[in-house]
Each structure stands twice: as C-alpha cells, then as structure tokens.
Amino acid sequence: MSMFASDLVVIGAGPVGLYAAYYAGFRGLSTTVVDALPEVGGQISAMYPEKPIYDIAGFPAVLGRDLVAALKEQADRFSPGYVLGERADGLVRDDDGALTVTTAAGTAIRCRSVVISGGIGAFTPRPLPVGADWHGRGLSYFVPSLEAHADQDVIVVGGGDSACDWALSLAPIARSVTLVHRRGAFRAHAHSVAQVMASAVEVITDAEVKQIGGTGQIEHVEINGPGGSIVRPAQAVIAALGFTANLGPIRQWGIDVQGNRHIPVDTAMSTNVPGVFAAGDITDYRGKVRLISVGFGEAATAVNNAAVLINPEEALFPGHSSDALPAPA
C-alpha cells in the first residue's frame, strides 16, 4: 500500500475538482486530487472535449479541452498531487480525528478534510464486446489527443453525441474515419448527424464490430453489416459507447445520499459527516442548479470552510486574489 498525507483530498478531477484544488492551494493547503479516470477533466474530457462551452464566465466560448487545460494550469501553480485511474474506495476516521481516504488500487491518503466533487459519480466506459484484449493496443474509450491519431485509419463505434463528435473532429486529421453504429437511427443531435453525413466520414449503420485483428497493435477491423462482413484497415478503434456513473463505495461512508446519486449539503457545502464537504453536480439543496459555473462557487465555499476547519485561526474569507502575493510558478 502506498501511503502519504495532505491537508485536503479532492475526490473528482473534473472542472469543479480542479478549481477546488486551485482554491486549496490559494489557501495554503496541500492537496491531493483522486479520480477513477486516467486523466483530469471528468465528463468534459470523457464526453465532449472538442465541443465549445458557452456559459463559463469570462469566455464567450471555450472548447472543453481548453477549459480543462486552463483549470489544471491554474491549479498546478500550487503543485497538487494527482492520483488518477484509481477509484476512491474507503474513508475512515483515525483516533486523532484525521481522515484517511483509500483507493481500490491500494493508495492511502491521510488528510484533515475531504471535498467530494465527483459529478454524478465515477465514470466507467461501456465496453466493446470484442475489445477486451485490445485496450491500450489501439482501442480507447475517449480521445485525450486528436493529434495522436494523425494519418491513422480510425474506426469510431457508437451512435451518440460523443461518437459523432469524435468522428467529425478526427476527419481532418486521420487518414480515414469510419463510424459504425448498430442501429439505423442515431441518438446524437440531428445537426451533428447531418454534419457527419456531409463529411468525409464513412458511415456504416445496422452494423457492429465483429472482430479486431493485428499483431501486437490493431491493424484491421471486421465489421458485420447489412451486406455481410467487410474488413477495414485500422490502427485505432474508439469505442464511444457511453459511460455508466455510480457513486460506488461513497454510499458506504456514512454520508447521506438522496436518490442514490446526490449528496445533501448545507450552506457551507458540509455533508452530514464532519470534515467532509461536497461541491458540483453531486450536491443537492433547495434551488440547486447543476451548472459548471455554479459548481465553481460551491468549490470555493467548500474549500474555504475546510480551510477554517483545518486551521481554526484562519479567517473564512480568503481575501481577494488580486491583493495576494504572486502564486508560486
């Protein structure tokens, strides 16, 4: 088991979690961010990194991936630790009142407070039935970098918004893009579907990936469609089949949970468990509005209240950042 300590643990590395990590650093707290996904960004990175977002204050429009990159850069000025690809599994209180968060992979982080910013829970990609042996060898469930697929033959599997977005984003970069959907109708927005149909993307409907082949890495894919089986060259398969979200072990931490997905909080963003706060889509209270912009404010409230809990001599109001000394580079 890997063990270390920090003042604060943030569970969830989406936009709200990253902003919480920044604010914790601004308050002088050492911070560790834990997320089940292997990269930061949460739902944005998993579902719509190439889509513009229009309701972030100060940005008329910002691509999802650019927002995530900026939030991480903002947080990284205070050098938070990241434990990625590990689901938060356990929470115990030590005799001295400190908390220890453990992950399913065996990491343990001793801390004084926790902020849960897990969105709607830990994301798990829906698996491609024939892809079990190919993950990491050309098969992926989202696209951290479009440039990684430059001049490749790419097969995108799925019929939702993510599948259409990936296909459209990759079309100008890849050698070829083939979109395979098992139904004739798409779940994606009609405008996105129309864009795909008008693009250079080859669309095969009422079809499924029957087999993946290659030596070491993916080299070709067999597709079973209305006209029988066809084989397409491929160096990458992106299975955009959606994600399941689950609060998982958090439900066993003694925290009140409503409807199996939301955590009630008070005006300080405190849960019913002392020292545990929550922010973002996972929270619930009268008048709650689930927007990223709301989550940012909740993250600041949660962290500032956690800071006072950790250091009682500190003031709740952090002061204005414009009056503070420059943050460490």
Contacts of 245 (CB under 8 A, 6+ apart): 119, 120, 121, 122, 123, 124, 261
In contact, 125 and 243? CB cutoff 8 Å: yes
Rounded distance between C-alpha atoms, residue 296 and residue 20, angstroms: 8
Q: Quick one: angle between helices 161-170 and 190-197, nearest 10?
A: 30
Q: Say which residue the tokens 């597709």 belong to.
A: 223
What residues form DSSP beta bridges with 9? 32, 114
Give the annotated binding-site residues: 35, 43, 48, 88, 123, 281, 322
Contacts of 194 (CB under 8 A, 6+ apart): none
151 C-beta neighbours (distance < 10 Å), count? 9
Report residue 216 as tokens.
């070491």
CA quadruple 66, 68, 69, 73: dihedral positive or negative? positive
Is residue 193 helix, strand or coil?
helix
Question: Checking DSSP bridges between strand 122-125 and strand 243-246, what pairing results, if any?
Answer: antiparallel
Report residue 22 as tokens.
């920044």
Report residue 302 as tokens.
């949660």
Is residue 313 helix, strand or coil?
coil
Question: Checking DSSP bridges between strand 81-84 and strand 88-93, what pairing results, if any?
Answer: unpaired
Give me the half-sphere count of Cα atoms (radius 13 Å) on the Cβ side of residue 324: 12
Give the annotated binding-site residues for FAD: 35, 43, 48, 88, 123, 281, 322
In contact, 9 and 118? CB cutoff 8 Å: no
